[in-house]
Amino acid sequence: AQSVTQLDSQVPVFEEAPVELRCNYSSSVSVYLFWYVQYPNQGLQLLLKYLSGSTLVESINGFEAEFNKSQTSFHLRKPSVHISDTAEYFCAVTPDSGGYNKLIFGAGTRLAVHP
């Protein structure tokens, strides 16, 4: 079985400051890792994913995440946040074999960007 722990339920930050949202996972098998974002009153949107290969993955809007197998972490970072990044961010995992589209989500981190 897999589990995901998002270490911060809320992260307040000022605009243009860097931010890191932390995610740790537990699994006895290899996994795929994802970050999804949910804006108010909307569904979730994929931000980025790690399947294999380079441990650093990037999104089109400046976020990046690094897969660290030894620390079982997949932290999300952005060097300079904007007001529009205010949303809830979810880390998720699925087994790399047989998991199909069953994602195990963390509890979420609410990012609040202040002017």
Chain residues in the site for other proteins (CB under 8 A): 32, 36, 41-46, 49, 51, 90, 94, 96, 99-108
Smallest distance, Å, CB 80 to other proteins? Answer: 26
Decide if 74 contacts 63 (C-beta within 8 A): no
The first and second tokens of residue 63, run together, are 């976020």
User: Which lies closer to other proteins via its Cβ, residue 15 or residue 96?
Assistant: 96
Decide if 91 contacts 35 (C-beta within 8 A): yes
User: Which lies closer to other proteins via its Cβ, residue 15 or residue 32?
Assistant: 32
Smallest distance, Å, CB 105 to other proteins? Answer: 4
Smallest distance, Å, CB 108 to other proteins? Answer: 6
Q: Which residues pair with 67 in a beta bridge?
A: 74
Say if residue 5 is exposed, middle or buried (CB neighbours under 10 Å; 0-12, 13-18, 19+).
Answer: middle
